[in-house]
Chains A and B, each alone.
Chain A
Amino acid sequence: MPDTRRVYETTFIVSASLDDHQIDGVIEKVRDLITKNGGEIRELVKWGRKRFSYTIKKKNNGFYVVIEFMAPGDLIAKLERHYFLDESILRYITLVLDKRALKARTAAALLAAEQPAAEAKTDEAAKAAAPAPSPATQSPATTTP
């Protein structure tokens, strides 16, 4: 199946004055928007609360979230519109990941997976290096936990 979807990365900041439950709600809304419109989430990292280098909307810290996902091009405009409208999202930035960025990602992911992994896993990771699927997808097939 030819995949015309591109890989994007969005980093956004949720207001820290919300409690954890509400923050999760905001993140879920974004997540649903992506998956329900033909996107696929590859990775979602919550950095948690971090201090700002300058005040944004009179606040000094915020909850950072990074999402890496595949999506068709027209979804991006909808997503950004949502970020703009949602008052609890303070900042957002969406990037297309080009070849270089993707190469750096898979290299980093392989490094991170190899270190804590058992020996058998590193063989799997080495084999996976060429077609570059994420090592996370390999793990169910391999050793015992």
Chain B
Amino acid sequence: MPFQRNSRNTRNTPGRPGQRGERSQRGAAGQVRKKRTCRFCDNKEDFIDYKAEKKLQRFVSEQGRIIPKRITGTCAKHQRMLVVAIKRARHLALLPFVSDAVK
């Protein structure tokens, strides 16, 4: 789907409204811009399993922190589900709360 700056369908595009087209020029502090579409929306995945730690690891930094959706390109709805899944996985020690890079 082509990127439309003035489109009302802002739900699945990352970034705050009004800033979407300008982000790359603003020099976003060294962060790499990921894909614009939500990975889960593309696959029509509705349930994010807390037991699939390999999938979840992609959304977690080296330090173990959850990566914001403006970096991963996930949409808000799926980000909320992701966060719940990650926190459950942490409870079951499938993912760490804090990991090595912090030291």
Contact = CB atoms under 8 A, between A and B. Distances in A.
Contacts of A93: 88, 91-92
A104 B92 contact: no
The contact size tier of chain A is: 10 to 19
Contacts of A56: 93
A11 B51 contact: yes
Interface in A78-104: 91, 93, 100-101, 103-104
Contacts, number: 36
Interface stretch (B16-24, B68-76, B95-103): B95-103
Contact of A104 (B46, B88, B99): B46
A66 interface: yes
B46 A100 contact: yes
B34 to A, nearest CB: 24
A13 interface: yes
Contact of B92 (A91, A100, A101, A103): A91
Nearest to A56: B93
Task: Select the residue from B90, B91, B93, B99 with max chain A CB neighbours within 10 A.
Answer: B93
Nearest to A91: B92
A64 B93 CA distance: 11
A100 B44 CA distance: 11
A13 B92 contact: yes
A56 B49 CA distance: 22
A66 B94 contact: no
Contacts of A101: 47
A19 to B, nearest CB: 21
B99 A53 contact: yes
A54 B47 contact: no
15 contacts: A11-B51, A52-B93, A53-B93, A53-B95, A54-B98, A56-B93, A66-B51, A91-B91, A91-B93, A100-B46, A100-B47, A103-B46, A104-B45, A104-B46, A104-B49
9 tightest CB-CB pairs across the interface, nearest first? A53-B96, A52-B93, A104-B47, A100-B46, A100-B47, A101-B47, A53-B93, A54-B96, A53-B95
Interface of B: 45-47, 49, 51, 88, 90-99
